[in-house]
Amino acid sequence: MPRLKMGMIGGGQGAFIGAVHRIALAMDGEFELVAGAFSRDAENTRATGLALNLDPQRCYPTFEEMARKEAMRRGPDHLDAVAIVTPNHVHHAAAKCFLEAGFHVICDKPMTVSVAEAMDLVATVERTGRHFALTHNYSGYPMVEEARQRVQAGELGTVRKVYAEYLQGWLSEPLESSGQKQASWRTDPTQSGPVGALGDIGTHAFQLVEHVSGLRVEKLFAVLKTFVTGRRLDDDDTCLLELSGGATGTLHASQVCFGRENGLALRIFGTKGALAWAQEHPNDLHWTQPDGSVCLLRTATGATGAASRALTRTPSGHPEGYLEGFANLYRAFARAIRGERGPAASFPTVRDGLRGLQFIEASLRSDRAGQWISMD
Q: Are residues 78 and 213 in the same domain?
A: no
**313, 309, 307, 314: which is closest to 342 by C-alpha?**
307
Q: Could you list the residue range(s) of the whole structural domain that residue 126 is in?
A: 4-130
Distance CA 308, CA 150 (A): 11
pLDDT, residue 1, reads 81
List the Cα angle 363/368/374 in 5-degree steps: 45
pLDDT, residue 14, reads 87
pLDDT in tens, 142-152: 999 999 999 99
**83, 85, 92: which is closest to 114 by C-alpha?**
92
Instruction: Give a yes or no: residue 375 inside a domain.
Output: no
Distances (CA, A) of 331 to 18, 171, 320: 17, 33, 16
Number of domains in the chain: 2
Please, what's the largest Cα pairwise distance for the chain? 65
Q: pTM for the full model?
A: 0.96
Query: What element of type H or E holds 284?
Result: strand 284-288
Distance CA 168, CA 182 (A): 14
Full pLDDT tens readout for the chain, 376 residues: 899 999 999 999 989 999 999 999 999 999 999 999 999 999 999 999 999 999 999 999 999 999 999 999 989 999 999 999 999 999 999 999 999 999 999 999 999 999 999 999 999 999 999 999 999 999 999 999 999 999 999 999 999 999 999 999 999 999 999 999 999 999 999 999 999 999 999 999 999 999 999 999 999 999 999 999 999 999 999 999 999 999 999 999 999 999 999 999 999 999 999 999 999 999 999 999 999 999 999 999 999 999 999 999 999 998 888 999 999 999 999 999 999 876 556 899 999 999 999 999 999 999 999 999 999 7
Instruction: Give a yes or no: residue 343 inside a domain.
Output: no
Distance CA 241, CA 257 (A): 22
Q: Is the peptide bond prior to 110 cis by the omega test (within 30 degrees of 0)?
A: yes
Domain harbouring 9, CATH code: 3.40.50.720
Distances (CA, A) of 169 to 183, 218, 228, 235, 283: 12, 30, 12, 10, 23
Distance CA 80, CA 2 (A): 12
Instruction: Give a yes or no: residue 211 inside a domain.
Output: yes
Distance CA 274, CA 157 (A): 9
Distances (CA, A) of 263 to 6, 40, 129: 32, 33, 37
Q: Are residues 88 and 223 in the same domain?
A: no
Q: Are residues 100 and 160 in the same domain?
A: no
Q: Are residues 56 and 166 in the same domain?
A: no
